[in-house]
Structures are given as structure tokens and as C-alpha cells.
Amino acid sequence: MIHWHGPTPLAGNGLKHGPEYCPHNGMPNRQPRPRADMSKLADALFSRTKQNVLGLLYARPARSFYTNEILRLTGMGVATIKRELDRMVDADIIKRTITGNQHHYQANPYCAVYAELSSIMHKTAGIADVLENSLQPLWPQIDSAVVYGFKMAAQTEPDSAIALLITSKTLDQQTVLSELKQARERLKGSIELTLIKVPDEQQPALDQLNQQPRLWLKGEGDDLQKTG
């Protein structure tokens, strides 16, 4: 008996065969990419205070927050927050407006690195981080989760809803919405949840996702096809 130790040979139809190849097209099977630990990335890039402030302001860039709101939503001390806000205003990362005796702060769209900061904060300490933390008790039951349309909505409509699509075979709408209560408070906005449980609902959801900017919290679309 001859034992072959080289590369997987081509079959008669010209396709490569073996567990490492797709039986339909002979292409290598895509291995799932390990998801980066976003909290570690954020910790390496920014101090905890910067994460809290930037995560709040850049998650809803079309909305301003007054000082007491920032203190309440971040849970940080007055002196710490004030010092960080002053630094960010001086660096043109955020802008400050004064109404009466209230100081309002908002992400500065004219910041030289606005697009880059917005992208980083959405993926680490912004929308993604807030939603993931809220959904942690349900994480094992979630097949995939994706935020879509967030960039356009956040920049043009201060009170616009965050669109979240989740696929799960076991969860119901009320259970998920209950866990998202803290996220709604933290992001100061409503969350439009689409929960997919059966295959018949998949295609309209896929069509909608393909036309929107999207940010995957779990999975990268493959699980959407498998749910049911």
C-alpha cells in the first residue's frame, strides 16, 4: 500500500478533496478568525477616563452632553472628568458650548482624526462595547449579532435609534430587550431590535444588511445562514 504524504491531490474533476477543502469548489475552507479582545485593545490605546469620555461622545456624535450627564453616565469623579474634557477641547477632539451655566460637550467632526477615532471607539469603548456588555448574560445563546446603519444615523440624527440584529434559536424579543435596558441608558437612545429565529426571515435581513454599514459584535454573517 502506498501512503501519500504530499499535498492533497486533485480529483478527477480537477477539484481538491479533503477535510481542509470545500467539496463544492475545491477552495480551502475558511477558518474562523479569533475575535480580538476589544477591552484589551482599548486599554492599550486609551486610559479608562479617555475610554469613558470618548466612548460616550463618539457613540452619539450628533448629540451634546452636559457635564453632569457625563459624570453620571461615566461614573467618574468631577476633577478627573473636567481635566480630561479640558484636554480634549484644547486638542480639538471634542467641542464645548456654554448655555447659561451649563457646559455642553460633543464630538468634534472637524477633528483631524475624527473618522479614525470614531471607528476605533465604535469598535472598542463605543457602541460595540456597550452592547456586548449588556448582552453578556445571553451571549452563549446568541448565534450572531450585528449593528447596522450606525454611522449614518449617529452623525445626522441625534435621537436616531441604533439598529441591532440578533440571530438565536432560543431567545425571545422581551428577554433581549430587558438585557438591553442598560445599553439604552448608556447610549442615550433607543435600540431597534430585529430577532431572527427561523430561516424564512433571513433573506430580507441579509438584503437590508448588504445595503448598510455594519459592525459585527458576534459572528461575521455565517451564523445568519445557519440559524433555524
DSSP string, 124-177: TTSHHHHHHHHHGGGGGG-SEEEEESHHHHHHH-TTPPEEEEEE-SS--HHHHH
pLDDT at 180 over 60: yes
Q: Does 177 score more than 60 pLDDT? A: yes
Q: What is the pTM of this model?
A: 0.52
Q: How far apart are the first and last CA of the chain?
A: 45
Architecture of the domain delimited by 126-226: 2-Layer Sandwich (3.30)
216: pLDDT strictly greater than 80: no
50 pLDDT tier (thresholds 50, 70, 90): confident
Question: Which pLDDT does position 133 carry in this prediction?
Answer: 82
Q: Is the pLDDT confidence value at 163 over 60?
A: yes
pLDDT at 42 over 80: no
Instruction: Give the whole-number percent of the chain exceeding pLDDT 90.
Output: 25
Q: Residues 148, 191: contact at Cβ < 8 Å?
A: no
Grade residue 155 by pLDDT with cuts at 50, 70 and 90: very low
Question: pLDDT band at residue 96, thresholds of 50, 70 and 90?
Answer: very high
Report d(CA 122, CA 147) in Å as an integer. 10
- Count Cβ atoms within 10 A of the Cβ of residue 144 and give its class: 0-12 exposed, 13-18 middle, 19 or more buried: buried
Residues of the chain with CATH 3.30.460.10: 126-226
Q: What is the pLDDT of residue 205?
A: 59
pLDDT level of residue 63 (50, 70, 90 thresholds) = confident
| Domain 41-114: which CATH number of 3.60.15.10, 1.10.10.10, 3.40.50.11540, 3.40.50.300 | 1.10.10.10
Spatial CA neighbour of 131 closest among 201, 172, 187, 77: 187
CB 214 within 8 Å of CB 146: yes
Which residue spans of the chain are classified as CATH 1.10.10.10? Answer: 41-114
Q: What is the mean pLDDT of residues 89-105?
A: 94
Range with the poorest average pLDDT among 44-53, 147-156, 192-201: 147-156
When the pLDDT of each residue in the chain is averaged and rounded to a whole number, the result is 75
HEC string for 198-222: CHHHHHHHHHHHHCCCEEEEECCCH
pLDDT of residue 148 exceeding 60, the answer is yes
